[in-house]
Amino acid sequence: MTSELPKGQFDIGKMPRFGLSQFADRFPTQTRTPQIHISGDVAQEIVLEDQFAALPRSTIVADFHCVTTWSSLGKKWEGILFKDVYEKLISPRAKPDNHAQFVIIKAQDGARISLPLDDLLKDNVILADRLDGEPLSEAHGAPLRLVAPDHYGYKNLKYINRIAFHVKDPGYRPSSFRFMEHPRARVAFEERGLIFPGWLLRYAYRPLIKPTVRLFARASNQRARDIE
C-alpha cells in the first residue's frame, strides 16, 4: 500500500499517460476484448480470448513508479492474476518447457518487455482491465495491461497481445536502448537500467518528464479528435 516513496521518486499526483516518445502516437487497434497469443518454447501455440472470464478476479492496490522518477500513489487495479492465467490457462494448454524462465511480453503499439517468469508469478502481478473503479482507459492500457508494482513502470506493459516463454534468451531486443532496460528493474533495488547506477539515471531522466507528459497528452488529444 501507499507508504514512504522509494529512493529517488516523487509524487506526481494523477497518473499521466507516459512512455518512450516513439509510442506517444501509437494506439491499440483492438481495445474491446483481450486477445493474447502464447508462443516460444511451448508444446502448443495458443490464443487466449474468452477464457479469461472464467478466472477468479483479483484486486491490488499499489503505488506506481516510473523509472524517470515520478510515482502515482495508491492505484487500485482489478483483473486477473498473471499467476492464475499461467497456472489455469497457459500451463495446461500451451505446456511451456519447465525451464522456460525468460518471458517476453509484447504490446499492440509495438512496445515489448522481458521479465523472469518467477517475477511474474508473484501474488501482486495482475493483468488489469480496471483502474480505480473504472474500466481501464485506452490511455492506461486497454484492453489489458500488465501491472507488476515491484518493477519500474516500463515493465508494466499496456495493450498486451503476445507472451512468449523461452528457456534461453532468443536474442531479445528491448524497445529502448539496451542500457535502459534492466532484466528485472526492481524499484526496491533501484534497478533503473543497465551499466549506469540508479542514482545517476535519476538525474538523466528527470528533465524528460515534462516534455514526455506533454507529448503523450498532445497525441491523446489528437487521437480523440480523430475518433470523433
Ligand X SMILES: Nc1nc2c(c(=O)[nH]1)N[C@H]1C(S)=C(S)[C@@H](COP(=O)(O)O)O[C@H]1N2
Query: In the range 139-168, which residues lie near Mo ion by CB under 5 A?
Result: 153-154
Closer by beta carbon to ligand X, 102 or else 159: 159
When CB distances are held under 5 to 8 angstroms depending on the partner's kind, the choice from ligand X, Mo ion, none that residue 100 binds is: none
- Residues contacting 89, CB < 8 A, separation 6+: 48, 51, 52, 55
When CB distances are held under 5 to 8 angstroms depending on the partner's kind, the choice from Mo ion, ligand X, none that residue 17 binds is: ligand X
Neighbouring C-beta atoms of residue 62, cutoff 10 Å? 18
In angstroms, give the least distance from the CB of 179 to Mo ion.
15
In angstroms, give the least distance from the CB of 18 to Mo ion.
5
Distance of alpha carbon 37 from alpha carbon 176, whole angstroms: 23
Distance of alpha carbon 205 from alpha carbon 52, whole angstroms: 37
Q: Which residue is nearest to ligand X, using beta carbons?
A: 19
Closer by beta carbon to ligand X, 41 or else 67: 67
Please tell me whether residue 180 binds Mo ion under the rule CB under 5 A.
no
In angstroms, give the least distance from the CB of 181 to ligand X.
10
* 8 Å CB contact between 186 and 196: no
When CB distances are held under 5 to 8 angstroms depending on the partner's kind, the choice from ligand X, Mo ion, none that residue 103 binds is: none
Considering only 50-58, 60-68, 110-118, 164-172, which stretch makes contact with Mo ion by CB under 5 A? 60-68
Closer by beta carbon to ligand X, 86 or else 154: 154
Strand order through the sheet with 102-107: 46-48, 36-40, 160-166, 102-107, 112-116
| Residue appearing with cell numbers 487495479 | 77
Task: Give 55: exposed, middle or buried? Use CB within 10 Å, 0-12, 13-18, 19+.
Answer: middle
Closer by beta carbon to ligand X, 82 or else 154: 154
Count of residues near Mo ion by CB under 5 A = 4
In angstroms, give the least distance from the CB of 153 to ligand X.
3
What is the sign, positive or negative, of the torsion defined by CA atoms of 80, 53, 85, 30? Answer: negative
- Taking alpha carbons only, the member of 67, 26, 83 closest to residue 182 is 67
Binding site for ligand X (CB under 6 A): 15-20, 23, 66, 107, 109, 111, 140-141, 153-154, 156-159
Among 36, 38, 62, 66, binds Mo ion (CB under 5 A): 66
Distance of alpha carbon 200 from alpha carbon 32, whole angstroms: 41
When CB distances are held under 5 to 8 angstroms depending on the partner's kind, the choice from ligand X, Mo ion, none that residue 65 binds is: none
- Cell output for 221: 488529444
Which residues of this protein are in contact with Mo ion, per CB under 5 A?
66-67, 153-154
